[in-house]
Chains A and B, each alone.
Chain A
Amino acid sequence: MKPCLWVTGLGAVTPLGVGIEKTWSRLVRGDRAIRPLQLFDVSGQRSDLAAEVDGIVTPIHPPGAWSRTSAMAVAAVAEAMTMARLRAADAVVGLVVGGTTSGMFETEELLAQFHADPDGRDAPLAMLSHPITATGDRLDERLGPFARVRTLASACSSGANAIAVAAAWLLSGQVDAVVAGGSDGLCRLTFTGFNSLGAIDRVPCRPFDRRRRGTSLGEGAGFIVLERAEDAKVRGASPIAELAGWAMGSEAHHITDPDPHGEVVAKLIAEAIERAGVSPPQLDYVNAHGTGTPANDSMECAALKRALGRDLARIPVSSSKGQIGHTLGAAGGIEAVITALVVSRKTLVPTAGLDEPDPSIDLLHVPHVGREVARVRAALSNAFGFGGLATVLVFTPCETPVAPVSRVGARPAPSGSVSVVTGVSVVGSAGSMGAEGCADLLTARPIDDAAVDPDAHLDAARARRLDRTSKFAALAVEHALRDARATAEGSGVVLGSAFGAVDASAAFLYRVFQRGPRAASPSEFPNLVPSSAVGHVSIYLRMRGPAFVVADLAASADCAFAQAVELVEGAESARVVAVASEPGSDIVARVLSPLCSDAALHATAPSRSDLASAIAIETAAAARSRGARILAHVAQRLQWRGDGSNSSGALRPPMADRAEVVVARSSRAVDAFLARTGWGDQRRWSCADRLGENGVLGAVAIAVAAARVGTGRAPEALVVGLERGRGYAIVLAAA
């Protein structure tokens, strides 16, 4: 029987108030927080409306490291952990943070300056708040230390996506409890971008209304504490609701427009409900994504109809966005909190602003004010993002809480599925290669530094919206799938990216600051969202599995591999491609990397050339059943926070003399780590020594290691990815 996952804590910061009680009472009452924005100058924008959180105080220490996004996240996570009576030190507690803007508000004027003055060499401390990992790091400092921290982005589904990833951690027994959700602060970039898309209503947004013309943006944070019921009972924790089902996937349709038929979303809703063990007749509430844009609301209605059929007519549906706005990366987290409360308090929250329901959206609405109901047997929460990235969550009421039991909660046995690498690729100045080329990439003749023209290998019409990162990522994923002789359909994709599209964001902002909001490019804006590359890849290659970005500074590629393995081993997706693709970036090379990352300290030959690498992962059983060549199996996988001194002891020694070590870059930290293990004397390869410094070298190291094992050059290989305060180790062994 699958373990039951309890929600034991909730925390929220929303434009309606700090804390869940204030937010909840005002939500049920139908209060609205959408008004002219005060945070920054909005003159010249199509609409000046947004739902702002008042009175956020950002701490002073460490200097420059705090953003409003992180401050809201700390408040929400503290509330959730207090409610759950959980401290990070009490158990193996994980943290999964979804978000997109991070410290953008705090750094966008600096970014515009960097764009204007490329030779300025100062790296102001304020840039420390910029990477999307900053929020997880601040949470770790204030409320941790957490056993593991994951930062992910899937645009406006990030918060819900984080909760689904957290659930998978619990099912595989990797953590005892996990805090998951999302946080996003308003900033000029998203405000101007959504306005340029004509996606903002000139009045507070009216989801499902006949007159709706767009959404209203908001900000906030929403997190939940999740744990296995049997462990929660041992702690004496009370359940609020059960996270019974979830599903992640991508539409593979269009970078900004949803598929009007809602085909993939309907499939995800059906999957999440089935996983929850309920059927449409038992579903009593839907908290819709309901942004208020004409396209979203129509698509969502079509998807609900397709998935729920005739039962939909008696299921109340509402959207909270007319009250708190669209809180982007936080929305999935905040709406999960709201949906859990709807289940536990048997009270529906309304859709504000819904005066004239659109006759073509024939849902059972809850207009204006909430109301109590007799029962909520199951409730759905939808979250959709740019690129068609979607997550669906299902909450149910918990059984009556039992008295604390003294038995120690048994961790579920690992699922037993072993993951294997079936294809790899490296695309860049060395050419485009699969396993054969990768095996000798670090040993063969010198690499000629000829620039690769991705356009020569891509379908021009379908690739016209892809930026360079997306183009290289698409080529790398396509080549890895070809190397694995596998199809894209049904595969998922996880992209590791430390800093996202920094230079393009800086250029966009510079133009807006110089020439006003109307000069903002609507087709450029979607490419500035951290998850845009993964959206583009899923669309270009028609991949409909889970798709999102993970970030962990210079270990982002290692993190992507870990995440892809988790998705495969947790049966979230039959096949997942982990990919890293970084555009040559002046601002990363000059400012962000030296300030935020230890990798730059060891850069021997800094390179600003484009490079991408991908690794295709599936279960051993799936690979064997389709007769695939297996390059290597994932024999061991460790990830840690801190200096890794605890993890080095857990690393198994090499099984053979010829076992090799592959690292992204050499450093004293790598030497020290290996010296504590049995791997210190093994033959060692450094990708940076050969290819020059690049953010994707972590993925290249894994691709090379898998290829060397798969082609018999080494019986097994260890890949170590180290970064400031975090690390990953992967042992790949012959199948």
Chain B
Amino acid sequence: MDPAHLRAEIKRLIVTELNLKGRDPDTIEDEAPLFGGDLGLDSLDALQLAMSIEERLGVRLPEGDEAREVFRSVRTIADHVAKVRTA
């Protein structure tokens, strides 16, 4: 999956898994902060997103303090997924 596709897939998961009804995945910016920004996500969303990324993309995301860096934005998640896959 090329980087743009991967980011689009993550955006789609954000909308469907976190039940953001009416939100168009394409309107989520790659760099936009996932927490505290206009998406208004919280730690429970992070856990749900991590679970669904592991299920759909086969990559286990870090937990605890390490997770903070990875969950900054769609781009940081996608970069992490790509890195694990190529490792």
Contacts and interface: CB of A to CB of B under 8 A. Distances in A.
Query: Real complex partners, A and B?
Result: yes
Contact of B44 (A46, A461, A522): A522
A254 B19 contact: no
A464 B43 contact: no
Interface stretch (B26-34, B45-53, B74-82): B45-53
A468 interface: no
A254 B42 contact: yes
A contact patch SS: loop
A213 B64 CA distance: 8
A257 B51 contact: no
Given A213-B64, A257-B43, A518 B51 contact: yes
Contacts of A196: 47, 51
B37 to A, nearest CB: 14
B66 interface: no
A420 interface: no
A654 to B, nearest CB: 50
A60 interface: no
Contacts of B64: 198, 213
A683 B19 CA distance: 48
A256 B48 contact: no
A254 B45 CA distance: 12
Contacts of B51: 196, 518-522
Interface string B47-65: 1100100110000000110
Interface in A496-554: 518-523, 526
A523 B49 CA distance: 9
A46 B60 CA distance: 13
Contacts of B54: 518
A667 to B, nearest CB: 41
B36 to A, nearest CB: 14
B21 A464 contact: yes
B48 A455 contact: no
B19 A464 contact: yes
Given A213-B64, A254-B42, A518-B54, A197 B21 contact: no
Contacts of B20: 461, 464
A255 interface: yes
Contacts of A455: 21
A374 to B, nearest CB: 42
A482 interface: no
Residue among A46, A255, A257, A521 with the highest chain B CB neighbour number at 10 A: A521
Contact of B47 (A254, A519, A522): A522
A460 interface: yes
A461 B40 contact: yes
Contacts of A254: 42, 44
B71 to A, nearest CB: 13
B18 interface: yes
A465 interface: yes
Contacts of B19: 464-465
Contacts of A518: 51, 54
A46 B45 CA distance: 18
Interface string A236-257: 0000000000000000001111
B50 to A, nearest CB: 8
Given A198-B64, A254-B42, A464-B21, A522 B48 contact: yes
Contact of A197 (B18, B40, B45, B47): B47
A46 B51 CA distance: 13
A198 B42 contact: no
Contacts of A526: 44
Interface in A436-476: 455, 460-461, 464-465
A197 B21 CA distance: 23
B81 to A, nearest CB: 16
Given A198-B64, A518-B51, A523 B44 contact: yes
Interface in A40-81: 46
A718 B58 CA distance: 60
Nearest to B55: A519
17 contacts: A198-B47, A254-B44, A256-B44, A257-B42, A455-B21, A460-B22, A461-B20, A461-B40, A518-B54, A521-B48, A521-B51, A522-B44, A522-B48, A522-B51, A523-B45, A523-B47, A526-B44
Interface of A: 46, 196-198, 213, 254-257, 455, 460-461, 464-465, 518-523, 526
Given A461-B40, A464-B20, A520-B51, 20 more contacts: A46-B63, A196-B51, A197-B44, A254-B44, A255-B44, A257-B42, A257-B43, A257-B44, A455-B21, A460-B21, A460-B22, A464-B18, A464-B19, A464-B21, A519-B55, A521-B48, A521-B51, A522-B48, A523-B44, A523-B45
